[in-house]
């Protein structure tokens, strides 16, 4: 039996609006949208195109009931710049109990879905990508 990862699903009340927000944050493209769902795919021709799973935004009637059980971790080249850019787009910082010295910043999108912006890889870590797991 074979399973392939197709997409990550995010429940929300306005799929097109939230998908557009994430498209701007990630630099991805909106490839399908209607009142019930919207799909984001990596930018055409990018290193992630055809590799990263799509993100599917699905309309649900109920709001979030608390802390997410799953979230996205995003790895930037410049953590401070990306946190500032996410905040300028409408993201907010969230305290989920992380330590003050955490190497990631927990944020929430405009619908309250949590995600993390991790620290950038060091040059040494970048040199070892593909040679084993890396710590966050």
Burial 68-78 (b: 16+ CB within 10 A, else e): beebbebebee
- CA 88, chain centre distance (Å): 16
Higher-confidence position of 63 and 5: 5
Structural domains of the chain, with CATH? 7-61 (3.30.720.120), 70-136 (3.10.180.10)
What are the φ/ψ torsions at residue 100 (nearest 5 degrees)? -60, -30
- The span from the CA of 36 to the CA of 69, in Å, is 23
Distance CA 115, CA 53 (A): 16
Q: Is the pLDDT of residue 136 over 60?
A: no
Query: pLDDT tens across 21-79, in order?
Result: 999 999 999 999 999 999 999 999 999 998 999 999 999 988 777 777 788 999 999 99
CA distance 11 to 70: 12
Write the pLDDT tens digit of every residue in 63-111: 777 777 788 999 999 999 999 999 999 999 999 888 988 999 999 999 9
What's the CA gap between 87 and 69, in Å, rounded? 22
φ and ψ at 26, to 5 degrees? Answer: -90, -15
Tokens 């055409």, residue? 44
The pTM (predicted TM-score) of the whole model is 0.85
């Amino acid at each position: 039996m074979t399973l392939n990862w197709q997409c990550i699903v995010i429940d929300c009340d306005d799929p097109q609006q939230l998908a557009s927000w994430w498209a701007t944050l990630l630099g991805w493209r909106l490839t399908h949208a209607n009142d019930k769902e919207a799909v984001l795919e990596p930018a055409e021709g990018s290193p992630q195109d055809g590799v990263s799973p799509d993100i599917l935004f699905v309309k649900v009637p109920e709001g979030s009931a608390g802390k997410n059980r799953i979230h996205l971790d995003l790895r930037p080249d410049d953590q401070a710049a990306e946190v500032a850019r996410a905040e300028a787009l409408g993201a907010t910082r969230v305290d989920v109990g992380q330590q003050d010295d955490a190497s990631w910043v927990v944020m929430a999108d405009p619908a309250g879905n949590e995600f993390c912006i991790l620290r950038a890889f060091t040059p040494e870590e970048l040199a070892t990508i593909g040679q084993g797991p890396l710590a966050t």
